[in-house]
Amino acid sequence: MRLCLWPALTALCLVLVNASSLTPPVLPLIVRNPYLSIWLARARDAPWENWPIFWTGSTVGFAVIASVPETKTVYPLLGRSQDFLRKSSSYEVSFPEYDGATFDASTTNLTYSIPGSDVKITLSFLSPITPTSTFRQSLPASYLTCIVEGSTDVSLYVDINGEWVSGNRDNKIEWGLVQTKKDDSAKTPIKTWSITRRNEQLLTEFFDHAEWGTIHISAPADVEHQSGESNYIRRHFAQHGSLKNEVDDTYRGIFEEEPIFAFSKTFKLKEKSNESSSVAQDSVVFTFALTQNPVVQFAAARGLTLMRPLWDFYFSGTHEMLQFHYDDYETAAYLASNYSEQLAKDAYASGSQDYQDIAALSARQVLGATQFSGTPDNPIIFLKEISSNGNFQTVDVIFPAFPFFLYTNPQWLAYLLEPLLEHQLSGQYPNDYSMHDLGYHFPNATGHGDGNDEYMPVEECGDMLIMGLALVNALKDDPQPQFVRTVPETTLTLKSESVKRSFLANEYGMDRTWEDLGTTGEKVAARWIRRSYKLWKQWTGYLVRESLIPANQLCTDDFAGWLANQTNLALKGIIGIKAMSEIANVVGETADSKWYSNVADEYIDKWQDFGLSRDKTHAKLAYTWYGSWTTIYNLFADALLCFHLPTNASPSLETSETQSSKQQPMGGESITKTKSTFIPDKIYQIQSDWYHAVLQKYGLPLDSRHLYTKSDWEFFAAAVTSEKVRTEILQHVATWVNETATDRPLTDLYETEGDGGFPGPNFMARPVVGGHFAFLALERACGGRASEGLKFLDETAPTEIDVEQALRAEIAINQPDMGEL
């Protein structure tokens, strides 16, 4: 379906729900995948004081300059182009007034004023998030719209260098310029610079930069272009306010007489202003795309496979895709704006203006770790564990990120889990627990045929089962916000034969609904589980053996080290068993469902005896670590999976039915009591009170060993606390965003005291910030009723606890007999 939209295209670029209230250290500019990831460094400073950065912190050549011919003055807007502009009688170098940055989920706007004039310039960076168009999300490309207004003529200049295609500055590069002509398939003819390594290294990285692929920067065909040595090109523009439409064809190294690739456009605002007797406005759109084929290699069921990008199935070639992407700007911006507006409304209602900004800031970072592949009928999303170790499809990195996918598009979570399921169903992984990842380093998913991946067996099994049931519930309940599914009437149709054969996307590249496909979410969920049921059951069997009293092992917080009897880890495993009882029901395996439900009920009772402090004020870090405490962030899963809804409670299973199973609960005893909820209210209450008591300057520490925290787990934990405590935690995290000394894309691991810096290791740009969507995912869960079971937390104020006294008392008391651990 198509609809008529507003005619003013430039107005669309500036649609931001509210002015941003937070001032993060770094802001996203062009962020689409692990290799097209450009950020505004030191975002609290003026944008011309530093070069933009790749997510690792390495700089990239990316300059934007304004020229005012009337005064013969040039103004660096982005990047340190002033370093190349020596003093000249032909021009003066000055700086604009920087009016600041605003951002939403898809857009970052940088706004400037030219001193002594009425000229205003906005650089609007759009990396669109389009939850109802998986096809558009798969395009490895972003937009930069430059908007100018005033009554004085202005010229704008944009350039990039070879650092976009290699992390090794010694490499040689090649380039070319291609121009398209207007035809039936192109609304706007464009010209495109394409730059690549002379000798590409397929599926290889150099300090996390891709060493294969081609960067493309496109502009309308009527702009001026020029390539050549950086000093010469930038000075030429500064002197003339224009470029010469020349191509330097002497290929060379990235910093060998540094070649740059530039566009410029002159805006005749004075003439327009005189004609209309008002301030004139104009704009130009540039696009940036990184094309790679293949995007990864994957040990699929059919063997090691070079995987094409998903977009490649929709187009006959790269330049067709680039032209479509350029012409699709209005539709992409419309869909992205709708998502940003809905997210802003939901986040504000769920938390505050600060939460709205934190969610918006996190969204592009999550998707910046992904690559869309597969086919139009069977899409796959691959994910890189950015910055921590580069693992491929890490289960315990997908897990903290999954609230984002539940909120934005639950089907994308299915596409993320698919490679893990396919690989393990094919028998390529020898262990009976879930694998940790698909490969030691992205983009090579070669598996672990020897079974020697990072050892987190309880963690990964619990993660998979919790995510599995969360996805099943989402598919059944369809809880995601109703993002727009219509497109503007100017939207182009896709010509590809793949679209004609595709069940999942229509001719406008929009996802079809279950109704469109003649099915229901419940049927889709059942088919998904039935196909991989043996894996879910296998992983649950491991948890039945190993989760109640976890052996010495790592959990997802592996930087904290190995530890036995971890209270929070055990809880995850037990909730995983409970999740399996519901998963089994989906496919009619009632005997399995009853068995796992009974085991989980027995285990959760024992967990409370083992894991809580003697005075019952908090959970211990480990069963036998007296005087310790921990953030029980896995409690979030209990509420998310609808286990804390009293109205859903049902009597426990009959003894005779359980005893007729081939398996028996521990000790051969059955559970006959009736429980209104799986985990009692008191656990939620004491943890909420404890978090209030141990909160630090910049947030909630992870546990009693250190003062550092993980922001994803803070939001998991805060989601299941009282409104007062939740607000406190949120406010402290917002303060950290404004004040942290970290200087990279948003970290999830930071100190809660001091300057809020990196504790070592230095994590950055990781997709785990999808955990910041925990509030939103919870409010959508269980048909929108998941939060109802937590209202009791707001009935009383948090209990004030003397933390030091409670911990000292715990240590002082002799350890009671807990039985064999």
pLDDT in tens, 639-667: 999 999 965 443 333 333 333 333 444 43
Give Cα 587 to chain centroid, integer Å. Answer: 31
pLDDT of residue 92: 96
**Rounded Cα–Cα distance for residues 686 and 632 (Å):** 11
**Rounded percentage of the chain residues whose pLDDT exceeds 70:** 92
Give Cα 586 to chain centroid, integer Å. Answer: 29
Q: Where in the chain is the domain with CATH 2.70.98?
A: 24-300
pLDDT of residue 168: 97
Main-chain phi, psi angles of 205, to 5 degrees: -115, 155
Report pLDDT digits (tens) over 515-538: 889 999 999 999 999 999 999 999
Instruction: Please compute the mean of the pLDDT values over residues 553-578 and round it to a whole number.
Output: 97
Main-chain phi, psi angles of 282, to 5 degrees: -155, 170
660 vs 414 pLDDT, higher one: 414
226 vs 277 pLDDT, higher one: 226
Instruction: Please compute the mean of the pLDDT values over residues 498-503 and round it to a whole number.
Output: 71
Instruction: Please compute the mean of the pLDDT values over residues 344-349 and round it to a whole number.
Output: 95
Report residue 278's pLDDT band, with 50, 70 and 90 as the boundaries: confident
3-state class of 29 per DSSP? Answer: strand
Strands 73-78 and 62-68: antiparallel
**Rounded Cα–Cα distance for residues 542 and 386 (Å):** 29
Give Cα 787 to chain centroid, integer Å. Answer: 24
DSSP letter for 449, please: T
pLDDT of residue 814: 54
pLDDT of residue 477: 86
Report residue 498's pLDDT band, with 50, 70 and 90 as the boundaries: low
Instruction: Please compute the mean of the pLDDT values over residues 400-410 and round it to a whole number.
Output: 97
**Rounded percentage of the chain residues whose pLDDT exceeds 90:** 86
pTM for the whole structure: 0.94
Query: What class, spelled out in words, does domain 384-478+514-812 have in CATH?
Result: mainly alpha
Whether the per-residue pLDDT at 162 is higher than 60: the answer is yes
488 vs 496 pLDDT, higher one: 488
pLDDT of residue 650: 39
Whether the per-residue pLDDT at 157 is higher than 70: the answer is yes
Q: Which of 275-284, 376-385, 594-603, 735-744 has the lowest mean pLDDT?
A: 275-284
783 vs 290 pLDDT, higher one: 290
The number of helix segments (H) and strand segments (E) in the chain equals 22, 29
| Residue 746 · residue 361 · CB < 8 Å | yes
Fold of the CATH domain 24-300: Beta-galactosidase; Chain A, domain 5 (2.70.98)
Q: How is 219-233 classified by DSSP, letter by letter?
A: EETTSEEEEEEHHHH
Spell out the residues 6+ positions from residue 689 whose beta carbon is closer than 8 angstroms to its own.
617, 725, 798, 799, 801
SS (H, E, C) 560-615: HCCECCEHHHHHHHHHHHHHHHHHHHHCCCHHHHHHHHHHHHHHHHHHHHHHECCC
pLDDT of residue 18: 56
Report pLDDT digits (tens) over 663-683: 444 433 333 344 579 999 999
pLDDT of residue 381: 98
pLDDT of residue 657: 34
pLDDT of residue 8: 40
Whether the per-residue pLDDT at 816 is higher than 90: the answer is no
pLDDT of residue 675: 57
Instruction: Please compute the mean of the pLDDT values over residues 343-371 and round it to a whole number.
Output: 96
Quick one: tokens of 447?
């598996």
Whether the per-residue pLDDT at 15 is higher than 50: the answer is no
3-state class of 328 per DSSP? Answer: coil
Instruction: Please compute the mean of the pLDDT values over residues 167-179 and round it to a whole number.
Output: 97
| Residue 105 · residue 339 · CB < 8 Å | yes
pLDDT of residue 12: 44
Report residue 17's pLDDT band, with 50, 70 and 90 as the boundaries: very low
**Rounded Cα–Cα distance for residues 447 and 424 (Å):** 9
pLDDT of residue 187: 87
Quick one: tokens of 346?
């939901």
Instruction: Please compute the mean of the pLDDT values over residues 25-39 and round it to a whole number.
Output: 98
Q: Where in the chain is the domain with CATH 1.50.10?
A: 384-478+514-812
Report residue 397's pLDDT band, with 50, 70 and 90 as the boundaries: very high
- CA-to-CA dists, residue 199 to 166, 168, 211, 293, 794, angstroms: 11, 12, 9, 15, 62
Quote helix, strand, coil % in the chain, to nearest 5.
40, 20, 40
Report pLDDT digits (tens) over 93-139: 999 999 999 999 999 999 999 999 999 999 999 999 999 999 999 99
3-state class of 490 per DSSP? Answer: coil
**Rounded Cα–Cα distance for residues 391 and 383 (Å):** 9
Spell out the residues 6+ positions from residue 646 whose beta carbon is closer than 8 angstroms to its own.
676, 677, 789
Q: How is 413-432 classified by DSSP, letter by letter?
A: HHHHHHHHHHHHHTT---SS
| Residue 216 · residue 193 · CB < 8 Å | yes
Instruction: Please compute the mean of the pLDDT values over residues 346-351 and round it to a whole number.
Output: 93
Task: Report the mean per-residue pLDDT for the chain.
Answer: 92
**Rounded Cα–Cα distance for residues 704 and 332 (Å):** 46
413 vs 87 pLDDT, higher one: 413
Report pLDDT digits (tens) over 60-102: 999 999 999 999 999 999 999 999 998 898 999 999 999 999 9
For tokens 């986040």, what's the residue? Answer: 347
Spell out the residues 6+ positions from residue 226 whose beta carbon is closer than 8 angstroms to its own.
233, 236, 243, 244, 245, 246, 247, 262, 264
Spell out the residues 6+ positions from residue 230 whose beta carbon is closer than 8 angstroms to its own.
61, 84, 159, 161, 258, 259, 260
